[in-house]
Amino acid sequence: MDCKKLITLLFLIFIITTNVFTQVYLNSSKSNEKRIEDLIDRMTLKEKVGQMCQYTRATLYDNISDRDLTRMVKEGKVGSILNIRDLEVIRELQEKAMDSRLSIPLIIGIDAIHGNALISGATVYPTPLSLASTWDPELVEKIGEQTALETRAAGIHWSFAPNVEVARDPRWGRVGETFGEDPLLVSEMGGAMIRGLQGISSERDNRVVGCAKHFIAGSEPINGLNFAPTDISERTLREIFLPPFVRSIKEGAFSFMAAHNEVNGIPCHADKWLLTKLLRNELGFDGFVVSDWTDVGRLATLHRVASDMKESTKLTVDAGLDMNMHGPGFFESIIELVDEGKLTEQRINKSARRILRAKFEFGLFEKPYGNKDKRNALMRSDEHVKTALKAARESIILLKNESILPLEEKYDKSILVTGPNANNSTILGDWVFEQPEENVTTIYEGIKKIAPEKTDVKFCNVGENYHNLSDSKLKKAKKMAINSDAAVVVVGGNSLRYKDDKTCGENMARSNIQLVGKQLELVKSIHSSGTEVIVVLVNGRPLGVTWIAENIPAIIECWEPGSEGGTALAEIIFGEINPSGKLPITIPRNVGQIQMIYNRKSTHNFRNYYETPSIPLYPFGYGLSYSEFKYSDLQVDKSTINPKDSTVVEVKIENTGDRSGTEIVQIYLRDEVSSVTRPVKELKAFKRVKLEPGQSKIIKFVIGFKELAFHNRNLKYIVEPGKFKVMVGSSSRNEDLLSEYLFVK
């Protein structure tokens, strides 16, 4: 046989054996929709239901044995795996999936909330609350991109992030995992994270599926406890909690996660109005909805709106859920329900299509695996560490400075560093597993590294347990303070999920917001030494540090600034970096003041308490700089407009200080008279502005329909004619704002 015939014969054999041209779904040159339809047509009911099922390994949780899991993956009964961190285990399971009848890859998910930080060696960026304190969406997008690179290289395709809940109760443990209390700021930050994670512009295998969570309003539980009921009006739901999810859809989020809680008597996982009528029919979401951890079963065991797993499954699939996180019971229930005619195969096809769409869009069929060398090269690469440091620098908030800071450059004196959070990994925050010590620069290590050569840096180890700050330790620290020129006292909380004494983070609510244990006594003891005290807060929620605010001359809020936090804090203390962070959440004086929010109604604090003024300790949007910024010449271009028109608001800002600095200019609006009560102010836009000493700039904001509109008595989203107060300045505090008026005809 001549060569030409042989090649033709071999090509025909290849075509017949692989029928690659007939298996459209395996042909990446075909459109996703064509690939989905071709695959759906080939799948059995069990294989479609399998896509809706997520599992984790038995060693983690007692669901099914690893052997059974592997078998089910091979049989095409598993669509997704979560929270497995070992690259080889992920690869083994993925190979089983690729070896299944239709070779449908698993979508592997993990909580990569601020870096893929459940993996040892990953770049640990500042937590979301810290990132919100930067008011820098571009930076957050870059962190999303870098997180996606590290996550995908680990063979993981889906991050259960961002948490775009609006946090308005500091008792709640997960405040640190959110972007704060304002719907606009949360929307901007959450949208940026989704753009970064899903990186629509980058290569398919450099991106991960984002997941807007938790849908909805579990961040305002009636008593601050995770899972507790949320009881809010539809108006509040639409005005406060929904906007970040609407923005997530606009940014193309491919998945949503339903929330643990009920809203007004209906568990989110069983709420058809929420998961279908609102999310899909009104808002047009066409991704897939995953349950939160075992929340399908909890419809029976916790919420008691179903009698068993089968009824829970029917309830949640009817409501609009697409995937069960996690474990057995869901698959079997659906098969039975379809056999009994209580669920249709058509309904199952909807969920299977949504999940397969993500798998095709993110290139899982072509590139299902990670790459160890690539992952190791990306984790804590110079570029990623540099970004983490930049974010830490921008996130740290100077709350008070009675001309103590910055310590002068040639600081040739002695400085004491102490406090339970001074030399440990509490700066990493929640959704982190233990990281190599060499990857984390603690506050003390940062100060030692950055302090000028002649500075004598002393450390007093008072231990890390907030309750074990014995009198002897306090006395020892005080004695060292007396012999020092300044003392940095690092206190706060602990969100580390791998530690058994955490005071914050998932499922760790508090019934008060004071410092835990004897931390305040430590601060008072050091203060009584007479030396200059700088209090540094490392914490995952607002703390009512009232005594400290009244008695300590310098206070820095770090939240949880990530692995480079110690370096950034030290650079700020010694003046290498000029702080620019602003509060993304109000800091109440005490738990009794909660709910304490800036976008409150005028009657919210019309009266006072017996013990406490009804104003916060520190307001939303507040943060100091080493520079001074002067606002002037606030103007509204067209002071009278039609409801559909827009106008330009401009303000002059000048750096009247002696060092360059960045100010976050904020614009707020108030609808002076309206058909329903409206907040006394609402953030409508913000801009980071860098200014050299003496430099000034004109900053402009466009105000139009979306800034002026609200839900009227009939929940119609409209602009009402009337007078609007326009406020521009450095925080939400009235004394920090210039104001003008705008009239809508």
Please, which residue, 55 or 622, has the CB nearer to ligand GLC?
55
Q: What stretches of 552-623 show up as alpha helix (H) in DSSP?
A: 565-573
Judged by CB under 6 A, the residue of 215, 293, 365, 574 near ligand GLC is 293
33-52: contacts with ligand GLC (CB under 6 A): none
Contact status: 262 vs ligand GLC (CB under 6 A)? no
Pairing of strands 554-557, 397-401: antiparallel
Please, which residue, 177 or 239, has the CB nearer to ligand GLC?
177
Q: Write out the two tokens for 606.
A: 């019309």
360-379: contacts with ligand GLC (CB under 6 A): none
The answer to whether residues 220 and 183 touch, using CB atoms and an 8 Å cutoff, is: no
Residue 213 C-beta: closest distance to ligand GLC, Å: 6
154-173: contacts with ligand GLC (CB under 6 A): 160
Residue 557 dihedral angles phi and psi, to the nearest 5°:
-95, 115
- Token look-up 């009512």 returns 544
Please, which residue, 22 or 59, has the CB nearer to ligand GLC?
59
Residue 627 C-beta: closest distance to ligand GLC, Å: 39
105-144: contacts with ligand GLC (CB under 6 A): 111
Residue 292 C-beta: closest distance to ligand GLC, Å: 5
Please, which residue, 260 or 393, has the CB nearer to ligand GLC?
260
Residue 474 C-beta: closest distance to ligand GLC, Å: 38
Q: Give the closest residue to 509 by CA, choosing from 420, 593, 591.
A: 591
Residue 109 C-beta: closest distance to ligand GLC, Å: 8
How many residues touch ligand GLC (CB under 6 A)? 6
Residue 719 C-beta: closest distance to ligand GLC, Å: 36
Q: Give the closest residue to 280 by CA, choosing from 350, 210, 337, 334.
A: 350
Please, which residue, 176 or 616, has the CB nearer to ligand GLC?
176
Q: Give the closest residue to 666 by CA, choosing from 618, 624, 729, 726.
A: 729
Please, which residue, 111 or 322, has the CB nearer to ligand GLC?
111
Instruction: State yes or no: cis peptide before 594, omega within 30 of 0.
Output: no
The answer to whether residues 427 and 560 touch, using CB atoms and an 8 Å cutoff, is: yes
77-96: contacts with ligand GLC (CB under 6 A): 83
Q: How many CB atoms lie within 10 A of CB 659?
A: 14
Please, which residue, 160 or 598, has the CB nearer to ligand GLC?
160
54 to each of 51, 70, 90, 161, 681, how far by Cα in Å?
Answer: 8, 13, 14, 17, 43
176-235: contacts with ligand GLC (CB under 6 A): 213
DSSP for residue 264 = T
Q: Give the closest residue to 198 by CA, choosing from 238, 157, 226, 235.
A: 157
The answer to whether residues 305 and 270 touch, using CB atoms and an 8 Å cutoff, is: yes
DSSP for residue 649 = E
Residue 117 C-beta: closest distance to ligand GLC, Å: 13
Spacing of C-alpha 192 from chain mean position: 11
Residue 584 C-beta: closest distance to ligand GLC, Å: 19
644-703: contacts with ligand GLC (CB under 6 A): none
Q: Write out the two tokens for 561.
A: 């600034």
Residue 677 C-beta: closest distance to ligand GLC, Å: 33
Spacing of C-alpha 591 from chain mean position: 23
- Token look-up 């004394």 returns 735
Question: Per-residue x/- mask for ligand GLC, residues 433 to 462, rule CB under 6 A?
Answer: ------------------------------
Please, which residue, 61 or 705, has the CB nearer to ligand GLC?
61
Please, which residue, 47 or 169, has the CB nearer to ligand GLC?
169
Judged by CB under 6 A, the residue of 145, 188, 292, 557 near ligand GLC is 292
- Token look-up 């695996």 returns 369
Question: Letter for the amino acid at 734?
Answer: N
Q: What are the residues binding ligand GLC (CB under 6 A)? A: 83, 111, 160, 213, 292-293
